[in-house]
Structure 1
Amino acid sequence: MHWQRMALFAATASALVWMNAAAVEAASLRMTPVGLDLSAPEKAGAISLTNTASEPVDLQVRIFKWSQVDGKDDLTDTRDVIVSPPVTTIKGGDTYTLRVVRVANRPVVGEEAYRLVIDELPKPIDPRATGQGVRMVLRSSMPVFFTAKDIRPDLQFKAWTEGGKSYLQVVNAGQRHAKLAGMKLVTPQGELSFGGGLNGYVLSGQTMKFEAPTDKVKPAPVVDKDGKPDPKAAAGPETRLDSGMVQLVSGIGSSIDVKQMVAVEAK
């Protein structure tokens, strides 16, 4: 089976909705940690799942090889890593431990990336029952990495504006993935953000592109004599991002601290 271009959400719920009436019900899972990053010689890790709802939840758990093709995430079947158990039921309020084990005999060269996908299994619908509500069936996905020792990402950046939008291209020439969050361009006039949360992952040897819906720089806040933002002072107008050198900065949640000058081109 080939799972191509699946929508990935790190430990967040997505898509499958069972419609019936006006009410909405959903399972609620808390996961700790929200991913695994294991360095050789480690071959196994554990993830705790807690059902914070009162009703039991049935889960199917699978793991896929994770790659990036033409800037898109791509998942394929694998026999190199297994997850146990593949199907489980967690009672309301209970916690269950998943085991993730790399069973391949060959040593890890560089880094191997996987995605652990957890699906809630829908409960049978009783046709005689009324008012069952809208049933949300949850899917969660989290990253799993097996890495050799002493490897690092090596990121190269390119930024440009085109058609009223701003773009950031990231090339990872290193052997380890990079997790980028809160990326922004900082100019003397203010900042242009690519999103305050997770921007995405750039796997080893891959190129990813991130988009900001605007090429407008948000003006820097006016500060008082103590260097603190002055809420009474009006900020200046938004300005377009000019071509030239600007500072690129990563935010909280990134696996690598980025603070460097990059050239912006206008197309």
Structure 2
Amino acid sequence: MKGWRGWLAAGLTVSALISSPVRASEFSVAPVRLELNATLRSGALVVRNDSQESIGFQVDAMEWTQDAQGADRYTSSNDLIFFPKILSVEPGQESVIRVGARKPVVQAEKTYRLFIQEMPKPNALSQATGPGAQVSLLLRFGAPIFVTPVQATDDAELQVASLDKGVLKLSAHNTGNRHQVIEGIHLRGLGADGKELYAMTLADRYLLAGTTKAFSTTLDAATCRALASIEVTLKTDRLSRVRKLDVSRADCP
């Protein structure tokens, strides 16, 4: 699996004028996620420094859940064993973070993220406040860590809740015991003759076990009134579900 290249900024080391030059380190993590289980109790992440300077990192583990709205939530956890917790990687070099699960035997999947946070350089503050100040972006990557169940089941429900005044609402519920990677929720609007008149894809990523996520999109009046039905397909890395909703003019703006 290809590594992740760390360009996403998680914060600024100091406050500075917008006109100040901005610099960010460049690093990658591979693989981008780990799956542990009763047989494979540990794994490793490789952090590579592709920048021209040494980079220090702090590593922290958080339990990862999703709330009733499907939003990600993180809480402190001691369920994972990982080492090192602090590391420094020289330019062009790699360092390995080893990860293990304290309880690798589970009936329903447990999910975590191992956050690899870039640490500020010791001289960052003096550089940021002196002549020709630069603002440094500190980058953070959260690698998903899955402790998979002894017997995995994959199932999901797709519900098209309503179409009201052109607003289409639907939801996806993971009824299995391990995560699904959503590859897309595909919408096809069909005319009375079955011809496709409208198409779009709603993007998302992870749908954790037992979680429901709600989605919505708005159709303009002309498009909505031209449709006889909307076909909705939930496509994940392991399954697909299809639902069809009849459309009437009363559903449109």
Partner of 2:182: 180
For residues 150 and 133 of structure 1, the distance between their equivalents in structure 2, rounded to whole angstroms, comes to 52
Judging changes above 3 Å, is the alpha-carbon distance between structure 1 residues 47 and 209 closer, same or farther for their aligned structure 2 residues? same
Q: 1:215 aligns with which of 219, 222, 229?
A: 219
Q: Retained in 1: the 8 A contact 2:148–2:178?
A: yes
Deviations 1:225-253 (A, max 9, x none): xxxxxxxxxxxx85568574514153xxx
Partner of 1:130: 131
For residues 259 and 241 of structure 1, the distance between their equivalents in structure 2, rounded to whole angstroms, comes to 25
- Give the partner amino acid of 1:183: I
For residues 131 and 163 of structure 1, the distance between their equivalents in structure 2, rounded to whole angstroms, comes to 55
TM-superposed deviation, 1:94: 0.9
TM (norm. structure 1) is: 0.76
* Cα RMSD (Å): 2.9
Q: How does 1:1-267 map to 2 (within 5 A)?
A: 13-17=8-12, 18-20=14-16, 22-71=20-69, 72-104=71-103, 107-124=105-122, 125-126=125-126, 129-159=130-160, 160-162=162-164, 164-187=166-189, 188-195=196-203, 199-212=204-217, 214-216=218-220, 238-239=223-224, 242=227, 244=229, 246-250=231-235, 254-258=236-240, 260-263=242-245, 266=251
Q: Retained in 1: the 8 A contact 2:6–2:139?
A: no
Runs of 4+ off more than 6 Å: 9-12
Q: Retained in 2: the 8 A contact 1:47–1:97?
A: yes
Q: Retained in 1: the 8 A contact 2:182–2:234?
A: no
For residues 91 and 49 of structure 2, the distance between their equivalents in structure 1, rounded to whole angstroms, comes to 5
Aligned residues: 232
For residues 50 and 98 of structure 1, the distance between their equivalents in structure 2, rounded to whole angstroms, comes to 11
SS of match in other structure, 1:126: helix
TM (norm. structure 2) is: 0.80
TM-superposed deviation, 1:164: 4.7
For residues 241 and 139 of structure 1, the distance between their equivalents in structure 2, rounded to whole angstroms, comes to 46
Any gaps of 5 or more consecutive residues in structure 1? 1-8, 218-236
Q: Quote the sequence identity (%).
A: 25
SS of match in other structure, 2:10: coil
Partner of 2:192: none
More off after superposition, 80-89 vs 122-131: 122-131
